[in-house]
Amino acid sequence: MQRVRRQIYRMKIKNLIAGMALLSAITLTACGGSSSTSTSGNCLVFGEVPALYSGYQTERDKIEESATKSGGDYKKASADIDELKASYRAKIEAAGKQLDGKPIEIAPSEDFKVVSPVSISFKEIANNVNAVFSVAGDIETARDVTIDVTEAWLKSHDVTYLYLPLMLSGCDEEGLEVTSCRIGYFKGLTVVDGKVILPQGVKAVLQTVAYNRNQYEDWIKVKSVKLTLDTSRL
C-alpha cells in the first residue's frame, strides 16, 4: 500500500512539472518572447526587428558605460560599437527580409476597407540600425469619415492641400493602443455643412515605414493591429 502511494505521489509531481513547463512555454511565446530585451522576441508587424534593435541599444549602452566608468580607451569603445553595429545591421536586415510580402492581419473597421492585403518588405538599413520597409497593399475609406476640428481651425485652413497620416496602431490584449507607426496618408478632404469630411472611396497613398526607435517593450504587448488617422496636428 505504501509503495502504491509513493508511485501516485511521483506521478503527481511529474504532472505538476510538465504543467509548469507548458505554462512557461506559453508565456514566453505570447508575442514571440518575454518582456526582456531578448533577441528571440517575435512581434506583430515587425517580427524580430524590435527585439534586435533593443539588443543593439542595450549592448551599445554597456560599452559606453564601461568606457565611462573605467576612464578607458574611448577609441577602442568606438571601434567596439562599430563592430557591434555592423553585426546588428546584418541581423536586422536578415530579420526584416523574413517579413517580405507576408500579409498583416488588420482588424475590421467601419472607417477603412482593406481592398488588398497590406504587407511590408525590407528596403534598407538607414542611420545606424534603423530598418526601412516598403508598404504594399490597397486601403480606402469605407464610408464618409468626419474629422473633428474647431470652427476657428476651419476658418484658418484650406483642407484642399491637407494630408492626413494613416497609422497602423498596435493594441494590447484589452484593445488599448500601445504604439503606432505611419504607413501612408490620405488626401482629398472636403467641407460639408461646416464639417471636414474624408469621403468614402478615397484610396490611401502608402509609403515606407521605418523601425527607428527602441519600442520593443511596446510592440511585445501588441496582440492586434488596426488602421487609424493621426489628427493630432489639426
Q: How many CB atoms lie within 10 A of CB 118?
A: 23
HSE-CB of 104 using CA atoms within 13 angstroms: 29
Strand partners, 197: 146, 190
Residue type, position 208, single letter? T
The per-residue pLDDT for 18 is 41
Q: Is residue 51 pLDDT above 90, yes or no?
A: yes
Q: Is residue 107 pLDDT above 80, yes or no?
A: yes
Cβ(175)–Cβ(223) under 8 Å?
no
The pTM score is 0.79
- In the structure, what pLDDT confidence band is assigned to residue 68 with cuts at 50, 70 and 90? confident
Q: Which residue has the cell 508575442?
A: 31
Q: Is residue 165 pLDDT above 60, yes or no?
A: yes
The per-residue pLDDT for 233 is 79
- In the structure, what pLDDT confidence band is assigned to residue 74 with cuts at 50, 70 and 90? confident
HSE-CB of 179 using CA atoms within 13 angstroms: 19
Sequence-separated (6 or more) residues with CB below 8 Å from residue 173: 221, 223
Mean pLDDT of the chain: 85
* 2-25 core/surface letters (b: 16 or more CB in 10 A; e: else): eeeeeeeeeeeeeeeeeeeeeeee
The CA distance from 127 to 124, in Å, is: 10
- pLDDT digits 0-9 by tens, 172-226: 999 999 999 999 999 999 999 989 999 999 999 999 999 999 999 999 999 999 9
